[in-house]
Chain A
């Protein structure tokens, strides 16, 4: 096959058979290409989705037994939807770390010079977050159900759909942060950690905020994750309170739209 090994002066691959016909690529195909690329490492190494789950699963194991049983159901029923939201938060906010790696290695530069639209690059990368979201939710529910978590498949499916815009928007923000912090990787982690934990605590994922002082309640009310978690709790319990779900959906969409808008803008200026 490889003539090049024996005669360097006349290397192999003299025969170039494929005429290269490059056609214009539509926006959707563009996004699809990026998404397919992003999913390859996930599909080849599905265990990688566990990485962002370690902390939430530890919290599930350590916190759930501590929570007092409320009258209307087990502590798990209250805790699991929050943990699902927390996993989405972790996973999406980590996504920029992959991009940081690509910025350092040089593959991001190659994509920036390619004909892929910058917006497609951002959207495709952010959409990738849907896959870990689904896999992680399945794992958490599978872990919790034997311990008395009451399974409502319909509610969980709606809950996951409700989380998608949030997840994608947060992923886009994380990617934008990675692009902005391209020369100092530590900036990425500092900002990520500084933002994630207050969001998490203020949303009442780990502890109920019922007895919190007024200012904390206000801070919690403007946190989109609060409304998302409340909607998730209702949906995972098999109920469908219109207003709660609507607020949750709005909060999720706001993060989604804002995240993609910021992300695409940042990506357009990336170098």
Chain B
């Protein structure tokens, strides 16, 4: 469609800042964001609760004005040319796009009509989206009666109606089961690959960012603390390989061997050895064979990819839950 892939960045922010004042308290939600996103990029904002992801998206989608700094989306200023920005974007917010007292089908239709699709096109497009998100059988029930995940799929469907050249998705996968998560990721990738849609989404999960986005922007306290590919972020951290042994002595012996894995950081904890190494999941099988041959067989093995928490620990030297030394973030997508 009308993808000007050759032009400069489709999203550009300069010192984008937003404060919220509540009584005497001022919250610096976003602090001086400088960002460029090129046409056709698929970018994930990764960050903990309250990092400023939604606030950034809300500024880029013209919902709230920046306190200072500026931003352009599709070449239009988000403060001075709000109408033009709105015509160029799709937005799936963190809340529900479909009103609870409406029917899903009606809401998609309404959004299509609002974007100027003819009645028959709107109807066809609605059917396509209902099918794409496996919602056809729920389309004529009041939204209030849908399950959380069904509602979320509806939100995303509404956001895609007009096939916008630029799409903002705020935690699109919240509440989706693994099956639907995969489907959503597939839809997002396809939009990006087939139509060249520029996509900015937010997530809490490094795995999801990795599965989807070519580029991951890590945000903390309203600032960008990393801007890289997911692969690079992950390989800088490596996988965590946790090995259990019959006795603490065996563990100590095994740790000495594990230390020989290049670039490995090894920690012994009782009868457990924790090893963090780039490509840990690839080295683990060989290591297990080695250790068995050396007379210290592994009784249990666990391999965990890095999580958002690990990214944080690495980048900031502190854990997400400041007063706790470790967290148990659920395995992502």
Contacts and interface: CB of A to CB of B under 8 A. Distances in A.
A105 B148 CA distance: 12
Interface string B1-31: 1000000000000000000000000000000
Contact of A113 (B62, B99, B100, B155): B62
- How big is the B interface, by class? 35 or more
Nearest to B182: A8
A25 interface: yes
Contacts of B91: 110, 113
Interface in B112-168: 113-118, 121, 124-125, 128, 131-134, 155, 158-159, 161-163
A2 B131 contact: yes
Interface in A129-168: none
Nearest to A42: B101
Contact of B114 (A1, A44, A102, A114): A114
Contacts of A107: 95-100, 102, 107
Contacts of A117: 83
A20 B125 contact: yes
- Among B110, B128, B134, the one with the most A-chain Cβ atoms within 10 Å of its Cβ is B110
Interface string A21-36: 1111100011001001
A271 B115 contact: no
Contacts of B114: 25, 30, 33, 111, 114-116
Contacts of A12: 131-132, 134
- Among A9, A13, A33, A271, the one with the most B-chain Cβ atoms within 10 Å of its Cβ is A13
A190 interface: no
Interface in A85-136: 98, 101-102, 104-107, 109-117
Nearest to A15: B128
A184 interface: no
B16 to A, nearest CB: 16
A42 to B, nearest CB: 10
Interface in B74-95: 83, 86-87, 89, 91, 93-95
A8 B179 contact: yes
Given A106-B95, A107-B98, A115-B87, A40 B131 contact: no
B100 A40 contact: no
Contacts of A20: 1, 117, 121, 125, 161-163
B319 to A, nearest CB: 31
Contacts of A37: 102, 106-107, 110
A110 B158 contact: yes
Interface in A1-23: 1-2, 4-5, 8-13, 16-18, 20-23
A91 B146 CA distance: 28
A4 B183 contact: yes
A11 B187 contact: yes
Given A17-B128, A22-B162, A114 B111 contact: yes
Given A11-B187, A21-B118, A33-B113, A101 B101 contact: yes
- Among B99, B116, B124, the one with the most A-chain Cβ atoms within 10 Å of its Cβ is B99
A182 B65 CA distance: 17
A145 B58 CA distance: 54
A41 B101 contact: yes
B56 to A, nearest CB: 14
A21 B117 contact: yes
Nearest to A2: B134
B182 A33 contact: no
B276 interface: no
A109 B134 contact: no
Contact of B125 (A18, A101, A110): A18
A78 B134 CA distance: 57
17 contacts: A2-B134, A11-B132, A12-B132, A18-B128, A20-B162, A21-B121, A37-B106, A105-B96, A105-B99, A107-B99, A110-B91, A113-B62, A113-B86, A115-B86, A115-B87, A117-B83, A271-B58
Given A1-B131, A24-B116, A107-B95, 6 more contacts: A10-B186, A11-B187, A20-B121, A98-B101, A109-B97, A113-B63
Query: Which 6 residue pairs spanning A and B have beta carbons closest together?
Result: A106-B95, A13-B132, A107-B99, A23-B116, A110-B97, A8-B182
